[in-house]
Structure 1
Amino acid sequence: MSFRPHLLAAAIMAMATPALALDGFPHADVNCTVTTVFDAPPQRAVTLSNNATEIMLALGLEGQMAGTSYMGNLEISPEYADAYGAIPVLSPLIATTEQLIEVEADWVYAGYPDGFAERWHTRDQLHDLGIKTRLATEGCNLGRFEFPDLWHEIRDVAAIFGVPDRAEALIEGLQARLDAVDAALQGAEPVHVFIYNGGDAPPRAALGNTMLNSIVARAGGQNIFGDIENRYGTVSWEDIVDRNPDHIVVFYSLTEAGQLVADPRADIAQARIDLLGTFPAVADVTAVLESRFHPISSVTGQPGPSSVRAVEDLARLLHPDRFAQ
């Protein structure tokens, strides 16, 4: 066989190319007390919540996704619809262990703690199967969660995939939109907001350590239960009356009592609005008297790139005079 220098050169380049592609690896992801080492970016990622899905799509990582789940009958944000439509939806609820194995998932990303609940699969159980994991940090956060923390989450995910420049470009654009809202609201007096999360005996609220609390604050509001250092919890109708919110944000997801609903906005959000509008205990609350109810779904209310859209939309509702055409 004759010696062919060009084939040797091609072989050397083929061997060298992976090394060039692996800049930033191995990478140690320190997340919610769990450290995971990546020798290369995941190639068969699966998301277990809508906000995790949107972070992946916002970073342009749809080509490395084997599936999504837990969207139910909510809709992905319009700017990600095309990319989302090309990815298999494994389940309207949380993808099961069997489904993850079937698509050969190598990394699973959950936006909420229930993505790794024992009734589905714990992180340890998935690790034992050779599947790496991440939980969005609001889910294990013990303190306030604000937009800089979301930027950190985006950077961490980008680092796992070796695309830090994409994170910086995304964050720059999102921050510019927040800055525009800040400028419009400069000097505006915050209005009092109750973030209602359903229930009546007792009612549930989003408290001070949630992304929703930060969304309300950046939109020119003050969460009436923002002083409570927790994520979600129950409150009393008496406290709601005493704190007398000017507006009520009605937070909703894709399930009610653990069951999927056909139309979350109508079947959950509107049902909650109807309850508040007819409930005698809060009949004299300003927000109820003025019918100031503002539905926010988990697509924009949980930490993800669409949380900025939630700020923009809510700011216009809380301070319409600052956004008059």
Structure 2
Amino acid sequence: MKRAVALVAGVLAIAGCSTTVTESTTGSTTAAATEGVTKYPLTLDNCGTVESFSGVPKRVVVMNGGSIGEVSSLVALGVADRVVANAQSYGVSDVPGRATAIDALPTGGITPNNQQDIPREAMLAQRPDLVISTGGGGFAADYGYATRADLTAAGANSYAPRANCGITGAVSGTPTIEDSYAMLRDFGTIFDVPSRADKLIAESKRKIAESASHVTGQPKKNVLIVFPGMGMGDSSDFSAIAADGIWNDILGKAGAVNPFARTDGTTFVTLSKEQLAATPIDGLIVVNYRNPDIDAAARRILDQFPQWAATKTKNYAVLSDSIYLGPSNDIAVDKIARLVHPGQF
């Protein structure tokens, strides 16, 4: 649990990279349940590494990194049956049935390392043809992982979302919902289901636009996002406060603002009660990660700040995976918009 914030921070950091895809005009390799649109061999430049796919991946390994955005995207696209070992699990989801679907995926019988991820030899033993990491650090030899060169030599391609290309997590910008869409597009192309990706993205954009239309012109409301009990070495409620991350884009589209937003790559901050008491808070978001009573955690936070507008109206909401990189950001936008602008719905 204490390791979770550091892992999630790695997922959300940006290294200023991009992913470009080039499809060949020859070859017609397709697989069951695909669309027959992607032409193979497929060349993909991902985070500066050129990958070449001879066909639809059939033995996919998904690394942990504190995320479920990658495996959630595979589930949403209907290609999770290609997964032979999944290390991502969050326990809950804002999408009905998704957590159960993820937990039902094979794990490959892997014993994780001290970072709760897949070490090199265990990875290679899975005989993957595609390894998906939450970021460049998942391919770092210094951490005991199989490098992208190791995987290429073993006949496997590798992928990391453009929102976290760098091994060190060096940041050149803040992730946005567009990064979630970019990952869906990449997977849609790789797995030959581009129309499914396009439909998911179009529906997400439609829902976000609808939510945003209700709050257009309304004053921005201060929303505090807290990850109770997830601080590194600190179990207090205020050791993991959202700072720089995709949630700031989500908040903006919901007619809200993060009063503790950062743009320097500091994903989470620790705040004192005095700092929080001095900041007007209109709505509270508590992020649930295997918390036995997340509502009690929300009430405990609110009770400490009776001066907040959020406390006077008991104005809080619980979110889980939709606040992160992944296919379900529209859920977070809608829930936050309704939380802080209820009269507009």
**TM-superposed deviation, 1:153:** 1.9
**What are the superposed Cα offsets for residues 184-229 of structure 1, whole Å, 9 maximum, x if unpaired?**
2222222101222344496332223x12112222222111122433
TM-score w.r.t. length of structure 1: 0.75
2:105 is paired with a residue whose SS is coil
User: 1:143 aligns to what?
Assistant: 173
User: 2:317 aligns to what?
Assistant: 294
Q: Distance in 1 between matches of 2:93 and 2:138?
A: 19
**What are the superposed Cα offsets for residues 13-42 of structure 1, whole Å, 9 maximum, x if unpaired?**
xxx864996843333333334332323332
Q: How does 1:124-273 map to 2 (within 5 A)?
A: 124=148, 126-127=151-152, 129-140=154-165, 142-198=172-228, 199=231, 200=236, 203-208=239-244, 210-237=245-272, 238-253=274-289, 264-266=290-292, 269-270=294-295, 272-273=297-298
Q: Distance in 1 between matches of 2:225 and 2:286?
A: 6
Instruction: Give the alignment's Cα RMSD to 1 decimal.
Output: 3.3
User: 2:338 aligns to what?
Assistant: 316
Given that 2:221 and 2:256 are in contact with CA atoms closer than 8 Å, whether structure 1 keeps it comes out as yes
Is 1:56 matched up with 2:74?
yes
Given that 1:250 and 1:273 are in contact with CA atoms closer than 8 Å, whether structure 2 keeps it comes out as yes
Given that 1:123 and 1:133 are in contact with CA atoms closer than 8 Å, whether structure 2 keeps it comes out as no
- Larger deviation, residues 66-75 vs 303-312: 66-75
**What are the superposed Cα offsets for residues 155-185 of structure 1, whole Å, 9 maximum, x if unpaired?**
1222222332222122111111112112222
Q: Distance in 2 between matches of 1:28 and 1:100?
A: 23
**TM-superposed deviation, 1:273:** 2.9
**What are the superposed Cα offsets for residues 49-86 of structure 1, whole Å, 9 maximum, x if unpaired?**
42111111222212322232221533583264686476
Given that 2:37 and 2:194 are in contact with CA atoms closer than 8 Å, whether structure 1 keeps it comes out as no
2:174 is paired with a residue whose SS is coil
Give the AA of the match of 1:158: G
Aligned length: 293
Give the AA of the match of 2:254: A
Q: Distance in 2 between matches of 1:173 and 1:77?
A: 15
2:291 is paired with a residue whose SS is helix
Structure 2 segments unaligned to the other structure (5+ residues): 1-26, 166-170
Q: Distance in 2 between matches of 1:40 and 1:215?
A: 35
Given that 2:38 and 2:189 are in contact with CA atoms closer than 8 Å, whether structure 1 keeps it comes out as no
Q: Which has the higher contact order (CA 8 A, sep 6+)?
A: 2
User: 2:52 aligns to what?
Assistant: 37
Give the AA of the match of 2:309: T
**TM-superposed deviation, 1:143:** 0.9
Given that 2:60 and 2:129 are in contact with CA atoms closer than 8 Å, whether structure 1 keeps it comes out as yes
Given that 2:71 and 2:88 are in contact with CA atoms closer than 8 Å, whether structure 1 keeps it comes out as no
User: 2:145 aligns to what?
Assistant: 121
- Larger-Rg structure: 1
Given that 1:126 and 1:133 are in contact with CA atoms closer than 8 Å, whether structure 2 keeps it comes out as yes
Quick check: which one's helix share is greater? 1
2:325 is paired with a residue whose SS is coil
Q: Distance in 2 between matches of 1:153 and 1:231?
A: 23
Q: Distance in 1 between matches of 2:262 and 2:302?
A: 25
TM-score w.r.t. length of structure 2: 0.71
**What are the superposed Cα offsets for residues 266-285 of structure 1, whole Å, 9 maximum, x if unpaired?**
25x45643552455xx4534
Q: Distance in 2 between matches of 1:230 and 1:272?
A: 27
Taking a change above 3 Å as real, the CA distance of residues 133 and 239 of structure 1, as seen in their structure-2 partners, is farther
Give the AA of the match of 2:163: E
**TM-superposed deviation, 1:149:** 2.6
- Larger deviation, residues 176-185 vs 23-32: 23-32
Given that 2:139 and 2:146 are in contact with CA atoms closer than 8 Å, whether structure 1 keeps it comes out as yes
Q: Distance in 1 between matches of 2:276 and 2:102?
A: 39
